[in-house]
Structure 1
Amino acid sequence: MTDENGWDMSASAWVIAQGENGDFTRQFVLDPVIDAWLAGRSFASALDVGCGEGRFCRRLKARHGIVAVTGIDPTEPLLATARAKDPAGDYRLASAENLPFEDHRFDLTVSYLTLIDIPDIERAIAEMARVTAPGGTLLIANLNPFITASGGTAWVKDDSGAKRFVKVDRYLQEHSDWQAWRGIRILNHHRPLSRYMTLLLAAGLRLTRFDEPPAIGGPTEARAAYNRVPYAHVMEWTKA
């Protein structure tokens, strides 16, 4: 087994960190706005690109009533957890750069904090657009590039450990950095926002919604720190 990006070795720690409801950013920042965007809408089929342990696939079915949900991920240990938690689910070993589906297969395609994990982003975005049906939706949650540019050391702290400000460096230079927290150590890829936007537009997609939501719950200290420097955004793209 190769582990060039750290995910195989980090899978167990990741599952523990996510729990049933996801980490702070998922629970208190991204899930609320995504739930609001999807509320009352009907999708025949959905694909979660980089589904990990399957949390969001289960949420799409349980909360949004999407019966046919497929999750793909290149990390077998995470898929094993997804299948154990959702035995009737459809979880497949695959990469975003080579999606094993025919054209126009899904009317909802999701990339939930996975773009930063994908080495060949140009091919991956083209693939996500390819498998999305005409008139369908590509829903993306991603980290703001001013955070990924810093290589995981964005906050500058004083001698007492208090957070003073966030630094930004090498923003326009694409680069990769190892991130480590809570027993997890994975390789993330930084790209400026313009790189993502250019590729999405070139894939024939139209931006229909964009938000940088605040944290609306969670521990007071974590919420305050997030809202000082919001580091995630959500985009909805429609395929022409």
Structure 2
Amino acid sequence: MNNGWEQSAQAWIASMGERGDWGREHVLDPVMLRRVALGQFARALDVGCGEGRFCRMLKAAGVAATGIDPTQRLVEVARQRDPSGDYRLGVAEQLEFEADTFDLVVSYLTLVDIVDFRTAIGEMARVLKPGGSLLIANLTSFTSACAAQGWIKDQEGNRLHFPVDRYLDEFPFRLEWAGVRIENWHRPLSAYMAAFLERDLHLAFFAEPEPVSGEASRQENHRRAPWFVVMEWQRPAVF
């Protein structure tokens, strides 16, 4: 299935600097990096690393990171920006690594791109060491249900509310911005939670993070309709 990433890679690269987009910089990065710091991890796998921005942030935090992505152009740019890094072509549904390889596996806004997300979660759990963490940033299911439609506005363009419809269904939707045209997937939160629980993972952290910086108007919109969820799932240690 063509989800648009091959055609959108160059537009994505042009729009995604080291600070990331608004949501990454002002909402997600502070939470994700805090969980990384608390975990004191040694070796990480970034599933869907894109152009490698978060791998470079992990490296700066003292974590040896391997990034995989199915989009060749994004992997090429990741290698150019971090020549000493480890970036590979690969898909989440069939990871090339042995079991029990990483003490941290990251999925930073990538589950929404993956058609067979249940198999992907199983693979992430498989390569995770006992006692390790699976750190997830994802779109909230309340907003992904109508993400393609967006805010309901009045005649003057004021935002009235963000709609929710077909919440319990699983379906793809198209998003377009700044030349990027991709397909994402909506699933109810229960579908994700069940997939993690079926792999005997334990939930250690859950947040619907608020913005901590950025323009006041955008902060308010993110508080009215939170766009992201962050979860840390741990594989039980073996004693």
Q: Given the two structures, how large is their TM-score scaled by the length of structure 1?
A: 0.96
Distance (Å, rounded) in 2 between the aligned partners of 1:125 and 1:29:
24
The answer on 1:97 being equivalent to 2:66 is no
The answer on 1:111 being equivalent to 2:107 is yes
Q: Which residue of 1 aligns with 2:217?
A: 221
Q: Which residue of 1 aligns with 2:122?
A: 126
Picking from 57, 60, 73, the partner of 1:59 is 57
Question: Structure 2: which amino acid aligns with 1:115?
Answer: L
Q: Which residue of 2 aligns with 1:50?
A: 48
Runs of 4+ in 1 over 4 A off after TM superposition: none
Deviations 1:148-181 (CA, angstroms, capped at 9, x unpaired) = 1114213111122221100011110100011111
Q: Give the CA deviation at 1:38.
A: 2.2
Q: Which residue of 2 aligns with 1:28?
A: 26
Q: What stretches of structure 2 of length at least 5 have no aligned partner?
A: none
Q: Give the CA deviation at 1:39.
A: 2.1
Distance (Å, rounded) in 2 between the aligned partners of 1:43 and 1:111:
15
* Higher mean C-alpha deviation, range 149-158 or range 84-93: 149-158
2:23 counterpart SS class: helix
On the 8 A contact 1:154/1:168 being kept in 2, the answer is no
Distance (Å, rounded) in 1 between the aligned partners of 2:171 and 2:147:
9
Query: How many residues are paired up?
Result: 236
Q: Given the two structures, how large is their TM-score scaled by the length of structure 2?
A: 0.96
Distance (Å, rounded) in 1 between the aligned partners of 2:77 and 2:191:
33
Distance (Å, rounded) in 1 between the aligned partners of 2:16 and 2:35:
23
1:103 counterpart SS class: coil
Deviations 1:107-157 (CA, angstroms, capped at 9, x unpaired) = 000000000000101100000000000100000010001111114213111
1:99 counterpart SS class: coil
Picking from 212, 223, 227, the partner of 1:231 is 227
Deviations 1:59-85 (CA, angstroms, capped at 9, x unpaired) = 0011x211x210000001111111110
On the 8 A contact 2:143/2:226 being kept in 1, the answer is no
Deviations 1:2-36 (CA, angstroms, capped at 9, x unpaired) = x7010011111111221111111110101111222
Q: Which residue of 2 aligns with 1:37?
A: 35
On the 8 A contact 2:113/2:184 being kept in 1, the answer is yes
1:97 counterpart SS class: coil
> Over aligned residues, Cα RMSD in angstroms?
1.1
Give me the identity figure in percent: 53
1:33 counterpart SS class: helix
On the 8 A contact 2:142/2:164 being kept in 1, the answer is yes
2:221 counterpart SS class: helix
On the 8 A contact 1:10/1:184 being kept in 2, the answer is yes
1:91 counterpart SS class: strand
Q: What stretches of structure 1 of length at least 5 have no aligned partner?
A: none
1:39 counterpart SS class: helix
1:209/1:157 CA distance change after superposition, 3 Å: same
Question: Structure 2: which amino acid aligns with 1:30?
Answer: L
On the 8 A contact 1:8/1:77 being kept in 2, the answer is yes
Distance (Å, rounded) in 1 between the aligned partners of 2:169 and 2:122:
22
* Higher mean C-alpha deviation, range 145-154 or range 37-46: 37-46
Q: Give the CA deviation at 1:218.
A: 1.1
